[in-house]
Structure 1
């Protein structure tokens, strides 16, 4: 290819410069061979800086040379913050940690203050929490707290609407209080009274919701697998449990398990403390965890057990099927989640999950909002 045919940033309008620049970032070392070349002028310096930041992380995969090797982690973080938007920063920082390890960050705790807080960083910190120094632990807690708070703000309105709305509508009352009018049920139950000739609906019975304060609470038991593959789901579970705990008319229990069971109900309103208590690894005894949850049940028909696990049982599967069947047979509503989150790609034992579905457990892999909607449907009956 001749010089005349090569694409450079010089002489192009801004849109074309941006397009060429993006292709160059994608191609890396192969950009020159493809004729996608940098030139002096607008965007050139930033483009070179962006290339170096990518080579620092993806150098071998992109066939790059040593251009990114002159960067240190602190300089790289500064450059990423300067050159890339928030969403891209999160991806690049996640990749940097996964490919280059977290040791340098743990050795320089101030770097934690400069990395964009996100769920992937929280997962990394929790995975390596035993390596945290006292100073790094303080900073890690700040990062985890910020991410948890952002998740709470994102989720709580939708969750509250789904579940609180259902709580107000799960029972009817003979008390005729206008503000508690159940218009939908009133219309549905009186449709037989429709007079086609007069084009009017005659109502012979009006339905009202029960006053919320007079209703018995629902008990939500969140039971979370601590195995490493479930870490992202555990983060969302801790946040969701903290939201459930603040809902009127809901009692919330939080249980973590591997081969042992830990009841963290007393810390359900402090999701950061819950996450820092997670012990990753070890075996799995789902049956033991559900047997413990069974002991928490006081009113089965108003209890929902939310089990978050990969369904890989460490003891005979028949034991697990038996305890789920017993709970479901007692009118406890059972929800089993192979994953809970937005990006979670569930890798769970589908054969075991299928058997549990047959004996009464609803099996889902869903977003937190979808879980709340499912719980709302259960409460409405």
Structure 2
């Protein structure tokens, strides 16, 4: 990658996984980066996440894959089970010759805080990255020479040559630039958390010991399980559609609904429910794809650009891909507006495909009755080394950034 002769001053808004990855990629391209985070300290909330080989590849290009692998788990299989009958539907062998020949990087599962910590450490160690907390952006003004950011509770301003908005699902900068309203609620909600693996008993302990990613698919609900943090913790996510969703109320997707929706599940799934954290519910949102994430000297990244449902396990993965593409573009174009245009041109179509297909896969996962029976029959005919359907997501063809 060639480095721009004159380093730019780039501000990244948002210190989550996407924001830190963008900062690191931009700094590695030769620019000075300031990350502004509204929280009082840098950190992540949530539990586990899956890093398909496209994400591992991005982490490798960012120089942090080795650090992430110290705590991550490389599961031997992805297994899809029928949540009602308890029978296996299909599986993928992540240690087969077919996998290693087709994908150059590992499939990993990790705790969100562990991935965030690895990216944060890399940013802290990079001399061109400055980290600031307690800064809530309220407005951005740009002209042909730069961008001025305004912050809540202070008259202090920050001037940059360009700004990357990685401020998440409810991005303020997206609303200022795109103005497309609130994200779309899917009417599904998740309860999730990770607990010590030694609390697993019976069949659950067998699943934990296998280190496989288990997906229990059921009518309008599913359960995902896998180990994280060297196998010391077991991550569980229970997802279901609420019958009581109302857009102006939080009185839906309750614990009572959780129990009701999973009441007909098999014993293994029912045994898991009492061990799933109940302290917070997570409504699931996405948006329809948009054509342009770049507006002059301001570009969107991650959930601010393309929020997606989690059914392809690609939310964080796509933010990491964004970060790599952004750094590549900023390493080749001296004008940040040109770099942002090239970055969006490289990423737009792929991210949109994953956004829309994540919805479709959720529909397939949550089929009931005859639909579920047909799904199971079709998928059961697959072999564990058949990666044709996953390849377009996990091993995208590299897209070249146009020459300046």
Flag whether TM exceeds 0.5 (same fold).
no
More helix by share: 1
User: TM-score interval w.r.t. the shorter chain?
Assistant: under 0.3
Larger Rg: 1
Q: Which has the higher contact order (CA 8 A, sep 6+)?
A: 2
More strand by share: 2
TM-score, normalised with respect to structure 1:
0.24
TM-score, normalised with respect to structure 2:
0.22
